[in-house]
Structure 1
Amino acid sequence: MSVPPQASRWFLPRDSEMARRINELDWAATSLGPMESWGPALRHALATLLRSTAPMGLFQGRDGVVLYNDAYREIAGLRHPHVLGRPILDAWPEVAEFNRNVLDTVLAGGTLSYRDVHVVLNRTGEPEDTWLHIDYSPLVDEDGNATGVFFLIKDTTRRVEMEQRLRIAQHAGGVGTFEWFPETGRLEVSEAYRRISGLPTEGMVTDAMVLARVHPDDRALATPAMDRENPVEYAEYRVVDPASGDTRWIARRGEVAQHGEGTRHRFIGIAMDITDRKVAELALANQALTLQDRVNQRTAELLRTQDALRQSQKMEAIGNLTGGVAHDFNNLLQVISGNLQLLVEDVQGNERGERRVRNAMAGVARGSKLAAQLLAFGRRQPLAPKVVNVGRFVRNMDDLLRRTLGEGIEVETVIAGGLWNTLVDPGNVENALLNLALNARDAMDGQGRLTIEAGNAYLDANYVDALDDVAAGQYVLLAVTDTGHGIEPGIMEKVFEPFFTTKPEGQGTGLGLSMVYGFVKQSGGHIKLYSEPGHGTTVKLYLPRTTQSEDIIVDVDSGPVTGGSETVLVAEDDEAVRETVVAMLADLGYRVLKARDAHSALSIIESGIPIDLLFTDVVMPGALKSPELARKARERLPGIAVLFTSGYTENSIVHGGRLDEGVELLSKPYTRETLARKLRQMLSTQAQRNAGNPETVVAAPALPTPPPIRVVRVLVVEDDWLVRTTVAEMLQLRGHEVFEAGDADRALAILGQETIDVLISDVNLPGMSGVELVATARERQADLAAVYATGHAGVEGVVPDARTLVLVKPYGSDALNQSLARLFPPPGIARPMASPL
């Protein structure tokens, strides 16, 4: 390579490393060409920047070939000297877009200026955050054309990071800094000081602005005394937010800074938010003043807790006693009932004898009800819980309640939308509601208003702390309120005790509320009584929430009374009960074997005699218990059916107040008809299982198969209560979780609390229309599916698509389910094209 004459390099200083490197680089290999071809403008620019101590450089030509001075080397880092002579976009690829904009703007004649611009550069072998001051201006040749970009650069990273750390420290420590210049009234303040003092985030700050926010009573304290002998000053004062009116406490510490001999020029200091400390000091002072009150309060709480514990223990003891009494009582009733039913055939045609048997059976029924109430209070009744929706349950009982209470009682039901399900025994819920309604009727002397409410509730830890056996969590609330006489405070704690009643003698057993109490407790719930003399009573039942789908309840205790010819083994330790049930079964046509205890029954089973059903008492003497007998029987005779009976289940087949899975129980006392139906049902079911061959089983008529669906969460919005509840029931029967709203406001409230998959809305709602409601809802949840219900062929402005359908009224369950199936096809089924239904 030929070396150009030294005279052509006058712009290269002798003592510069970058001048030497520029001189040695083969520029002919770049877009700039050989050095001797460089124009005067470029040479003069290099002469200037190479002699400057400030970092600067050039992006020369259309591709921005990089040239720079010695001061720029520190900014280039490990990229030096490799970036020299390279196009800027290749030299710094991590900021290529940034530099492309620089080239386009400045080569077009413009200028750019950046202060503390943030970029990520790889100067040390790894990416690092960098802040820079950069000024760009065009390099103009002798013809006035911009041929390059001249830049002046300064690395401000250290200062920016220090300022950030200072801001973080001030924010974390709640400390703001300031300088006050009394002569001008101006303050230089930090971001933290603005926040602490409630000042605007931007703009000039004056002492008048600061004092305007200080509480009027504290302004003298907040003004620094510039003439004090001691230059260090401390003050505490209040500031008031002009927008919200909130008051905060500020602590300020500062020092007078002198400028010249004896002249006070400025006041420098810090400010801290000490509101929390002041609040704590005030709270501590209040605690000291109210210590005795708090001691008295805690003592009262302790006494209430002890009373609640004593009450709980008393109720538990009474429950154990009544449960045991009910067991023996039920055995006696079973003997009497069984023999009376056998006697019916003997007195047929004898009018007087038949009447006496009927009267005796009525007495047995009353005794059976009494025993059931005792078991309910003692939490010993075997529950067969189902997943029910209490709101639907209450609505279904509406007619029954109105007929029972009479015309003088106005019945109002209030069912909250989106009501949760609960796992309870349906029969006991019905009995509890009837008992509460009848008590309310008597309290109102047949005239007044009864309000039944169902809603969702949450019992928090603070509420349940003072309760003995209640867990915090979600509950379904069933409340019954009357406008009757109310209950005197002195007898409130006794109302749940068995046989306690305020009614005249002969007008009440005193077991109604105790039965409700026992059922709720056995179901894992909570009961609360509110009453005020002269203002009525409210009884609140809290039943635990379940997330399971609602069960479809089928009545199996119906149909004709039929017997059979199968073999039944009766295991019963009470001889009178055993002989009675054997006679009843024989009368029904069954072949009967009998055993006085579990060991005897097992011996009969092991003898090899064919047995179709084991009918065993739960509570029997001996080491071998009934559940173990049933297990051994099934091991030896896999096709045997097992039916338990008892007047008191203890915990052998009932756990948590509920029958174990797969256990069949017939509670004593039972009638001949009930026994016959139960046996026939179990033997028929077992015969089908034993058959094993589907051809031997008589098939039930095939029901139409509903379209496959996915279970979803649905919000039904309809102002017509009857239409809304009907649609909700149709959806719940298919297993969907349904929330209800009567207008758009309630619907939006539910959408703010629950995750909803599809919104089914009437078009013409009061206030906001259904179309507006869906639009508003989709602003919050873009993927929300929607079904518009309308009496017209379509909805103006609504085009059906994959997430939107129109359902024309009147519509039935099939059309509704088809709509959901189209919106939410099961896995493996393609979504159909949308169209109005």
Structure 2
Amino acid sequence: MAVPSTDSSWFLPLDRELGRLIRDLDWSATALGPIDGWPPTLRHALAAMLRADAPMAIFQGPEGVFLYNDAYRAIAGVRHPEVLGRPIMQAWPELAEFNRNVLDVVLAGGTLAYRDQHVVLDRSGESEDAWLHLDFSPLVDTSGVAGGVLVVIKETTRRVEVEERLRIAQQAGGVGSFEWFPETGRLEVSEEYRRIWGLPAEGVVTDAMLGELLHPDDRHEAAPQRLDRANPLDYTEYRRIDPLTGEVRWIARRGEVIAHPGQARRRFIGIVMDITARKAAETELAAFAATLQERVAQRTAELLRTQDALRQSQKMEAIGNLTGGVAHDFNNLLQVISGNLQLLAEDVGGNERAERRVRHALAGVARGSKLASQLLSFGRRQPLAPKVVNIGRFIRNMDDLLRRTLGEAIEVETIVAGGLWNTLIDPGNVENALLNLAINARDAMDGQGRLTIEAGNAYLDAHYVSSLDDGEVTAGQYVLLAVTDTGHGIDATIVDKVFEPFFTTKPEGRGTGLGLSMVYGFVKQSGGHIKVYSEPGEGTTVKLYLPRTTQSEDIIVDIDAGPVTGGHETILVAEDDEAVRDTVVALLANLGYRVLKARDAQSALSIVDSGIPIDLLFTDVVMPGPLKSPELARKARERLPGLAVLFTSGYTENSIVHGGRLDEGVELLSKPYTRETLGRKLRQILAAQAQRDAADPATPSVATSTPPPAKALRILVVEDDWLVRTTVVEMLQLRGHDVREAGDGTRATALLDQEAADLVITDVGLPGISGIELAATLRQRFPDLAVIFATGHAGTAGLPDDERSVVLSKPYGSEALTRAVSRLFPAR
């Protein structure tokens, strides 16, 4: 609300906008009150401030009522004139804490000064960075009491931003700037100049100081020694020496002498650059030029190797595409033949001639299946199911099989180095690879000699890897599996061809030429390396380098052992090939299962949605239609959480296989398969699902659930199986506990570093450090820590037997877990 002008505003310059605004503002609504009551000190200061050309302001009184002059309008921005007369905390809320300190200090009689003070202001409708010079001094009355704060402001944002851009540009370009004053020897230098010269961030820089850092042979290039020239700063290069490390770096300097008309004084301004890398490149270039012919020859050889590697890669891709396309249809045909032959075998039981013919036909199917598998393996299209394996134990377990395969005339020696690392490989494929190498060795030794199998740790360094042609091998740690025979060896002219498909040195009829091709493809698909060493008459050594893993060894169960049993569960078969579908349905019915069938994924999902109880989904991987098999499995499990899933295919492409390996948790039965293989695989998967169901009881309802404890516990669950871990966490959270989770000992230790726990529930068989070792380590830091050890193995050695430990046998439910917790914390 405007009020009429009175004589009380005589001190206001009305030719200035702020003078008029201050005159017209209703000050009675502010802490200052009407103008005629303002103290003389404020009036005089305000009169001077309003006439000043520099930005100035006044914070008057304890609230800091805000007054400013015309020059300040640019700083206020869109907040002008609304902030006039407001308490400073309301005028600039984003600077409230800063201005509160100003009022406290200056109204107490102090002063404050800031240079290039960074602030964030909202003066244009959005926040922006600004830099200011600020000087705060008290406005004191005749009695010496400060009633207000006089503020002198200078915005330095543009200069600071320009200097920052210059600093960034110099840093990015590696250029430092300087100005030299010969009269005093002093230099004004930039931050990058100091970095290039290795100087401290602060302190005076002189030409004498720089001269001490120069290489003795280059000190004549320093500017003081060149003052007799027209331009002492013309381009030169010199070396500086780090006084602490002795490191020598090259510096280039270029400058100009600037003379101002009518002035005797000249300015010496220039730049420096670190050219150490360029000088090294020049030296390298000179050496390169000196050996150019040799390098051209080396580069040509490298180019030829690269071209060979490219041709090999293209060949592998072509073979992979060919075998992948053929394998799917071929294996489907073999599956129909195999399944019907097995069903026919039951119909002709007792007819010896017919049984013999069925056996011969099934043997032919097996040979066809092996051929397709070998082609897929060489083309790196074989789906791998890798496990963590200790090769030493693995080859010892194969000892009987190898001796039966090779015969008594061949001596088999196995050498396993101590401290052997684990490797992540497909056990079935490594067994086939070792058998192939052993059979090749047997044939090369004409049935008698010595076969040596060695396992040890190996390291392939960068130099060796760079010398290889394929470009696929990485330097690092590997587990070496070497097979050496005392056979006739391989001629050097053909040793590079031994991995090519269908290449063989054996007489016609004694080999397909796919054995080593399969080994090669398997090793490469596993991320490893293979090398053959051989000389005629000296035998052959084949070395497989398999990537090391630090994970704990997996327990490998041989599902091919034991009798074949059927079941009475309900299985849904999804298969687009009618002949294959009918054969599979017949095999499953023969095994005693109830069978539902669907011609594609969408039809299978409709059956799932119908509500019919289903125990297992048995689906082909490659089927036509918009809904793909992996998506079918996911949707089916959403509807039926306890559903087991088994995929089958003659060729998986990339739907459930990535990086050549089956996706985690995926079960695959490759076509063609026998009735026995199918039966065992089904029992394995159904049993595993039943075990998961037992460990994952249904969540209790609100009406029947156990009431929460009187006081919640802080519990850490350590379990590498995410399904078990998630279930246990939910059980505990339903009891009202504060639960955290970890998949291994390292993560568990890190969580306890952040926050202590009352109780740790740990699986005994963790990867890396075991649950027993983890508990011992944690109790060194937390002696009273309560621990529940969960284990699926009775009589596990090393478990603590004390009042702060409880052993819980897997599988367990919510009640067993609650009882275990109550034993350790009876009052809770």
TM range (shorter): 0.5 to 0.7
* Aligned-residue offset at 1:233: 0.9
Asked if the contact 2:5–2:23 (Cα under 8 Å) also holds between the matched residues in 1, the reply is no
Closer, same or farther in 2 for the Cα pair 1:654/1:561, shift >3 Å?
same
Query: CA separation in 2, counterparts of 1:203 and 1:110?
Result: 30
How far residue 537 of structure 1 moved from its aligned partner, in angstroms, is 4.8
Q: Which residue of 1 aligns with 2:714?
A: none
Q: Please list, as runs of the form range in 1=range in 2, the aligned pairs for 1:658-807 lying within 5 A after superposition.
A: 664-665=671-672, 678=676, 705-708=693-696, 757-760=742-745, 774=749, 787=762, 789=772, 795-798=779-782, 807=789
1:193 offset after TM fit, Å? 1.6
* Residue equivalent to 1:162: 162
For residue 328 of structure 1, what is the aligned residue in structure 2? none
**Partner-residue secondary structure (3-state), 1:387:** coil
> In 2 relative to 1, CA 454–397 (structure 1 residues): closer, same or farther, beyond 3 Å?
farther
Write out aligned runs for 1:2-151 (5 A). Answer: 6=7, 11-12=11-12, 17-151=17-151
**Quick one: which amino acid aligns to residue 391 of structure 1?**
V
- Counterparts in 2 of 1:544 and 1:701: CA distance versus 1, 3 Å: closer
Q: Tell me if 1:428 matches 2:432.
A: yes
The 5 Å alignment of 1:367-446 reads 387-389=385-387, 391-392=389-390, 394-401=392-399, 409-412=414-417, 415-416=420-421, 419-422=423-426, 425=429, 427-429=431-433, 431-432=435-436
In 1: Cα distance, 2:367 partner to 2:689 partner:
42
**Counterpart position of 2:184:** 184
Distance in 1, matches of 2:205 and 2:141, equals 48
Measured after TM superposition, the shift of residue 234 of structure 1 is: 0.9
Partner of 1:200: 200
Instruction: Report the CA distance between 1:188 and its aligned residue.
Output: 0.4
Partner AA of 1:760 in structure 2: G
CA distance in 1, matches of 2:399, 2:438: 7
Residue type of the alignment partner of 2:268 = F
What is the 5 A alignment of 1:89-488? 89-223=89-223, 225-230=226-231, 233-242=234-243, 247-257=248-258, 267-301=268-302, 387-389=385-387, 391-392=389-390, 394-401=392-399, 409-412=414-417, 415-416=420-421, 419-422=423-426, 425=429, 427-429=431-433, 431-432=435-436, 450-453=454-457, 466-467=469-470, 479-481=480-482
Cα deviation, residue 145, structure 1: 2.6
Letter in 1 for 2:531: L
Amino acid at match of 2:416: V
Ranges in structure 1 where 5+ consecutive residues have no aligned partner? 321-330, 332-341, 348-363, 563-600, 615-629, 632-640, 642-651, 667-674, 687-697, 710-729, 737-755, 762-769
Q: Check if 1:810 corresponds to 2:799.
A: yes
Partner of 1:233, secondary structure, is coil
Task: Name the SS of the counterpart of 2:58 in structure 1.
Answer: strand
Distance 2:172 2:125 in 1: 33
Q: What do the CA deviations read for 1:213-272 (whole angstroms, capped 9, x no partner)?
A: 444443333445111034661112334455666554332111235689996765211123
CA gap of 1:73–1:345, structure 2 versus 1, over 3 A, is closer
AA in 2 matched with 1:113? A
Q: 1:489 to 1:156 in 2, by over 3 A?
A: farther
In 2 relative to 1, CA 471–145 (structure 1 residues): closer, same or farther, beyond 3 Å? Answer: same
Structure 2 partner of 1:647:
none
Alignment of 1:534-683 (within 5 A): 537=541, 539-541=543-545, 554-556=558-560, 559=563, 664-665=671-672, 678=676
For residues 499 and 5 of structure 1, the distance between their equivalents in structure 2, rounded to whole angstroms, comes to 113
CA distance in 2, matches of 1:108, 1:138: 8
* Distance in structure 2 (CA, Å) of the matches to 1:294 and 1:50: 79
Give the RMSD, CA atoms, in angstroms: 7.0
Whether contact under 8 Å (2:94, 2:121) holds in the other structure is: yes
How many Å apart are 1:181 and its aligned residue? 2.0
Deviations, residues 545-582 of structure 1 (Å, cap 9, x unaligned): 9x9x98965444754999xxxxxxxxxxxxxxxxxxxx
1:71 to partner: Cα distance: 3.7
The answer to whether the 8 A contact 1:388-1:551 is kept is: no
- Kept in 1: contact 2:695–2:811 (CA 8 A): yes
Cα shift at 1:153:
1.5
Match of residue 528, structure 1, among 517, 526, 530: 530
Task: Quote how far apart the aligned CAs of 1:42 are.
Answer: 2.6
- Judged with a 3 Å threshold, the aligned counterparts in structure 2 of structure 1 residues 701 and 662 are, in CA distance, closer, same or farther, namely closer
**How far apart, in 2, do the equivalents of 1:685 and 1:124 lie?**
71
Q: Shift of the alpha carbon at 1:189?
A: 0.4
Local SS of the residue matching 1:184: coil
Q: Which residue of 1 aligns with 2:635?
A: none
Q: Assess, with a 3 A threshold, how the Cα gap between structure 1 residues 511 and 105 changes in structure 2: closer, same or farther.
A: farther
- Determine the C-alpha separation between the residues in 1 that align with 2:547 and 2:375: 18
Deviations 1:501-525 (A, max 9, x none): 89xx9xxx99799724434326763
Q: Percent identity?
A: 40
- Looking at structure 2, the residues matched to 440 and 239 of structure 1 have their Cα atoms a distance apart, in angstroms, of 67
Deviations along 1:171-201, one digit per CA (max 9) or x if unpaired, are 3333221012233222100112222333222
Quick one: which amino acid aligns to residue 255 of structure 2? G
Indicate if the aligned counterparts of 1:305 and 1:466 stay in contact, CA closer than 8 A: yes
Q: Cα distance, 1:133 vs. partner?
A: 0.9
Higher Cα Rg: structure 1 or 2?
Answer: 1
Q: TM-score, normalised by structure 2?
A: 0.58
Please, what TM-score do these two structures have when normalized by structure 1? 0.58
Query: What CA distance in whole angstroms lies between the structure 1 residues aligned with 2:222 and 2:447?
Result: 67
1:759–1:786: 8 Å Cα contact kept in structure 2? no
Distance 1:89 1:701 in 2: 67
AA of the residue aligned to 1:428:
N
Cα distance in 2 for partners of 1:128, 1:313 equals 57
Partners of 2:116 and 2:57 lie apart in 1 by 19
List per-residue Cα deviations over 1:597-637 (Å, max 9, x = no partner): xxxx99xx99xxxx9679xxxxxxxxxxxxxxx99xxxxxx
- List per-residue Cα deviations over 1:726-767 (Å, max 9, x = no partner): xxxx9689899xxxxxxxxxxxxxxxxxxx943337xxxxxx
Distance across 2 between alignment mates of 1:366 and 1:115 = 91
Residues 191 and 201 in structure 1, CA contact (< 8 A), matched pair in contact too: yes
Q: Distance in 2 between matches of 1:461 and 1:238?
A: 37
Q: Work out whether residues 480 and 539 of structure 1, in 8 Å CA contact, stay in contact via their aligned partners in 2.
A: yes
Contact 2:176–2:191 (CA under 8 A) maintained in structure 1 = yes
In the TM superposition, residue 80 of structure 1 has moved relative to its aligned partner by 3.8
Q: Is the 8 A contact 2:107 2:147 kept in 1?
A: yes
